[in-house]
Chains A and B, each alone.
Chain A
Amino acid sequence: MRNFIFLSVFLLSFAGFSQKTLPNINLKTFEGDKVNVADLTSNDKIAILSLWATWCVPCIKELDAINELYDEWKTQVDFEVYAISVDDSRSINRAKALVNGKGWEHNILLDTNHNLKRSLGASAIPVTIIVRNNKILYQHTGYRNGDEYELFEKLKTLSKE
């Protein structure tokens, strides 16, 4: 236990140097192509990343809500949405049917064995983050009706910085 405390203090003392950055993790598309999370928001592009699953009702509510407002928002801010599914093999094959069946415009990526979820320390989903140049600018866990408006306000403010 003493060693553990020593080790954490030692490592945390370095945290000062660090900025919260997206880890270098490969995700897949439905078609099996590899996409590195770190490459999603290079070139000053701002994006919303949302961890979701077919069985997570608030996640789907949130992504439905963003989808309904996407065209309207897009006229004000140039951004992308990446909906990253943490479905495992139980439900991953349902994900594509769900995405299309719901008519989502989001870019879909797959984190089947939870590499990204784990490195974000996400114990519950949805986890929604705003990212630019690979830096996490805003992070929120959970969704209740109306949270999408606050998310958009954040996005607008951050996109101007």
Chain B
Amino acid sequence: MKNIFYIIFLFFSSLIFSQNQPYIYGSFESNSQLLQNDQSLDFISPEDNFRSNNYFQINYQINNILAGIQYEGYLPSSLLGFYPELDNQNKITNYFIKIQNEKSDITVGSFYEQFGNGLIFRSWEDRQLGINNAIKGIKLKYYPSDNIELTALYGQQRDGFNYTASTIQGLNTEINLNQMLNLKEVDLSIGSSIVNRYQENGANDSIPSNVSAYGGRLNMYAGDFSLNIEGVIKDPDVIANENNLVSNRLYDGTALQVDLGYSKKGIGINTTFRRLENFNFYSDRLAEGNIYNQKTLSFTPTLSKQQDYLLTNIYVYNSQPRLVMNSIEKRSGEVGFQNDFYYTFDKDNLLGKYKTKIAFNFSYWSGIESTFNQDNSYDVKFIGNGDRYYRDLNLEIKNRWNSKLRTAITFLDVIIDKGITLGGPLGVQGDIKAKVGVIEANYLHANGKSSRGVLQHLWTKNDRKNWLGLVYEYGISSSVNVFVSDGWNYGRSDKIHYYNLGGSYSKNSTRVSLNYGRQRGGLICIGGVCRYVPESNGFNLNLSYSF
């Protein structure tokens, strides 16, 4: 608390010297649920059947000084499936002051940062996933010239309402070479990073107290082509499972990502290759593989198309960067690629005078072929022929027929390892093969009201068999919207309906939404990071307001 008063003191002492008007901005967000028993889902509401996550942040800027705080309250409990450490707590969780000038800036307190594309380090916040792994400490940025950016940081990482015992240090450089090398035809930039974790090893001398990761990257744009390469190696470290060390043996880790793109007006192609071998970096060595995505330093999201229809969302992939060595399964990581293709037809074509758009995506992810030896070491190929974890193929065609009607047709063909969707070991339980078709229509009525209808079907002989999905949304005005939806799992003997209905109101920076219905259990993935949510039934109320 003393720290906060110190910041306030700084706010107002700066006010006295200031010539400019200060300004204040911030936001409030509240997400609540009221749960009820549902026999069909075998869902028994927990004792705290009202649960609520609340966030309030306020920032104050004057001249070159910006300061802010964030308050969070999870009262009386956090939403179902969130990190249990948050339950029944409320506090000012983040506070910072940042002083900027042209050549440098300094932040003291909580901060977020990302090096490169985050493979080596990313601290960030995602409220829907329950992630806030801000670092509390000090961050310096220095710009010796327009083309160079240097970052140094030092601190401890947030873990729920506490901080991890380890200290994190990081250094990052970004260099834009265009001016230095007087490049005309290409844009070229390079970067490098080091991130170190110091964590005491207690009485165990055979495990390292210092573990570092070293990364390098290159980004190049030449005409219509782009190339991004990033590689990271991590010092040998122990591996852990469910808060226990697997052994005292140390294993190093590596990550490599290559993106190659070609695009010009009307056409875009992008291919991403990524290989992750034992590539997990946490601020606590025992946190490896925790299901709540807490204490992460490295950011290794799933690289496949992010689905957002009711039924395309059921069989989703979750990245598998870990080295796992136990009696049930042995695997060393993940390798694969995804491919995107976007194309827009010229104005006049068979489907009318508006431009028809096509998007195609393909991805394939598997384990890395490895042989595991008696002494707990392993030999690994660069790619090899490992177990297939996931493969999908998406095709989407969007067309506008006239000023009133737009349609979209989507087709998805997916194969996923049962272990990814249902849990348990990978590569031994068999696959789920499914196909999904979606037809969506958007219609603008003459009186300014709008309709959106989605019809979808999922075909599979595995797991929970076939599904039928329906969504209807009615826009009463640009601020008021209501919807009903149902995902009907009719292929199963109990033929369960996952119905939902609700509405939202949105005006300026205020948004309120309320819905009632059944939540399908499974992985909820946002930006490639997945959180498991249990089945439930009840009301959800979301409020957000910014000022």
Show the binding face of A for B, using Cβ within 8 Å: 1, 3-4, 7-8, 10-12, 14-15, 17-21, 23-24, 30-33, 54-57, 61, 64, 68, 87-94, 96-103, 112-115, 118-124, 138-142, 144-147, 150
Would you give the shortest CB distance from A123 to chain B, in whole angstroms? 4
In the complex the two chains form, is A18's CB within 8 Å of B24's CB?
yes
Residues of A within 8 A of B219 (CB): 32
Within 8 Å by CB of B511, from A93, A94, A97, A124, lies A124
Instruction: Report the bound CA distance from A145 to B66 in whole Å.
Output: 38
Closest to A98 in B: B342
> Besides A97-B261, A123-B542, A145-B442, 13 other CB < 8 A contacts?
A8-B58, A18-B21, A21-B25, A30-B226, A55-B308, A64-B398, A89-B119, A91-B528, A93-B272, A98-B268, A115-B112, A144-B478, A146-B448
Residues in B with CB closer than 8 Å to A123 are: 27, 29, 127, 511, 542, 544
Please measure, in the bound complex, the distance between the C-alpha atom of A144 and the C-alpha atom of B520, giving whole angstroms: 25
* B267 close to chain A: CB less than 8 A: yes
Cβ proximity bits B330-363 to A, threshold 8 Å, 1 near / 0 not: 0000000000111110000000001101010000
B461 at the interface (CB under 8 A from A): no
What sequence of 0s and 1s flags, for each residue 449-462 of chain B, a beta carbon within 8 Å of any chain A beta carbon? 01110000000000
Of the 9-residue stretches B163-171, B242-250, B297-305, which lies at the interface with chain A?
A: B297-305
Question: What CA separation (Å) do A103 and B527 show in the bound complex?
Answer: 24
B476 to chain A: closest residue by CB: A144
Q: Report the bound CA distance from A64 to B396 in whole Å.
A: 15
Asked if B118 and A89 sit within 8 Å, CB to CB, the answer is: yes
In the bound complex, residues from chain B placing their C-beta under 8 Å from that of A1 are 90
From A8, A91, A93, A145, give the contact of B261 (CB < 8 A): A93
B13 contacts the other chain (CB 8 A): no
Q: Which of B77-85, B199-207, B420-428, B501-509 contacts A (4 or more CB under 8 A)?
A: B501-509
Kindly state the separation between the CA atoms of A92 and B268 in the bound complex, as whole angstroms. Answer: 13
Question: What mask results when residues 432 to 451 of chain B are scored 1 for a CB within 8 Å of chain A, else 0?
Answer: 00000000001110001011
B544: contacting residue among A96, A101, A119, A124, CB under 8 A: A124
Q: Is the CB of B504 within 8 A of A142?
A: yes
Chain A residue contacts of B542, Cβ below 8 A: 123
Q: CA A23 – CA B269 in complex, angstroms?
A: 34
Q: Is the CB of B506 within 8 A of A94?
A: no
Please name 18 pairs of A and B residues whose Cβ atoms are closer than 8 Å in the assembled complex, sorted by A. Answer: A14-B22, A21-B25, A23-B66, A32-B187, A54-B306, A55-B527, A64-B398, A89-B301, A93-B261, A96-B268, A101-B268, A113-B112, A118-B57, A119-B59, A140-B478, A141-B544, A142-B504, A146-B448
Contact status A93-B270, CB under 8 Å: yes
Of all chain A residues, the one with the shortest Cβ separation from B21 is A17
> Which residues of B are found within 8 Å of A88, using beta-carbon distances?
118, 122, 124, 299, 301, 527-528
**Minimal beta-carbon separation of A117 from chain B (angstroms):** 10
CB distance from B381 to the nearest CB of A (A): 25
What are the residues of chain A within 8 A of B514 when measuring CB–CB? Answer: none
Chain A contacts for B444, CB-based, 8 A: 145-146
CA of A12 to CA of B27 in the docked complex: distance in angstroms?
12
A144 touches which one: B23, B262, B341, B473 (CB < 8 A)? Answer: B473
The 8 closest A-B pairs by CB, nearest first: A101-B342, A121-B27, A121-B546, A97-B268, A101-B268, A89-B117, A100-B263, A90-B528
Residue of B nearest to A123 (CB): B544
Cα-based distance from A135 to B116 in the complex (angstroms): 31
Q: How far is the CA of A118 from the CA of B96 in the complex (A)?
A: 14
| B386 interface hit (Cβ, 8 Å) | no
Q: Does B25 lie within 8 Å of A90, measured CB to CB?
A: no
Q: From known contacts A17-B21, A90-B303, infer whether A102 and B357 are also in contact, taking CB-CB under 8 Å.
A: yes
- Nearest CB to that of A19 among chain B residues? B23
Query: In the assembly, what is the distance between CA of A7 and CA of B221, in Å?
Result: 48
Q: Which of B61, B71, B442, B478 contacts A23 (CB 8 A)?
A: B61
Closest to A69 in B: B403
Choose one: B122, B306, B344; the contact of A113 (CB below 8 Å): B122
B-to-A contact residues, CB < 8 Å: 1, 4, 8, 21-29, 56-61, 66, 69, 71, 90, 92, 100, 112-114, 116-119, 122, 124-125, 127, 174, 176, 187, 189, 219, 221, 226, 228, 259, 261-270, 272, 299, 301-303, 305-306, 308, 340-344, 354-355, 357, 359, 398, 400, 406, 442-444, 448, 450-452, 473, 475, 478, 481, 504, 506, 508-509, 511, 527-528, 542, 544-547
Collect the chain A residues with CB atoms within 8 Å of residue B481's CB: 142, 144
A146 and B451 CA atoms in complex are apart in Å by: 10
Enumerate chain B residues within 8 angstroms of A147, measured Cβ to Cβ.
Answer: 478
Complex CA–CA separation, A153 to B113 (angstroms): 39
**Chain A residue contacts of B448, Cβ below 8 A:** 146
The answer to whether B25 touches A145 (Cβ under 8 A) is no
Residues of chain A within 8 A of B61, CB atoms compared: 23-24
Q: Would A145 and B112 count as touching, CB distance under 8 A?
A: no
B261-A114 in contact (CB<8A): no
The residue in chain A whose Cβ has the minimal distance to the Cβ of B11 is A11
A18-B22, A100-B267 known; A91 and B452 CB under 8 Å? no
> Which residue in A57, A97, A113 is a CB contact (below 8 Å) of B342?
A97
Instruction: Enumerate chain B residues within 8 angstroms of A124, measured Cβ to Cβ.
Output: 511, 544
In angstroms, how far is the closest chain A Cβ from the Cβ of B514? 14
Decide: B270 and A94 in contact? CB cutoff 8 A.
Answer: yes
**CB–CB B511/A100 < 8 A:** no
Contacts A55-B527, A121-B29, A139-B508; is A8 near B357 (CB within 8 Å)? Answer: no
Q: Choose among B23, B117, B343 the residue that contacts A17 (Cβ–Cβ < 8 A).
A: B23
A15 near B527 with CB under 8 A, answer: no
Shortest beta-carbon distance, A81 to chain B, in Å?
16
A-side contacts of B26, CB under 8 Å: 121
Shortest Cβ distance from B360 into A: residue = A101
Q: Is the CB of B60 within 8 A of A112?
A: no
Which of B29, B119, B226, B527 has the most chain A CB atoms closer than 10 A to its own CB?
A: B527
Query: Which of A100, A112, A141 has the largest number of chain B CB atoms within 10 A?
Result: A100
Which of A8, A94, A96 has most chain B Cβ within 10 Å? A94
Query: How far, in whole Å, are A83 and B351 apart by their CA atoms in the complex?
Result: 28
> Could you say which residues of chain B place their CB within 8 Å of the CB of A7?
4, 8, 69
CA A3 to CA B8, docked complex, whole Å: 12
- Chain B min CB distance to A99 (Å): 7
By beta carbon, the residue of chain A nearest B143 is A34
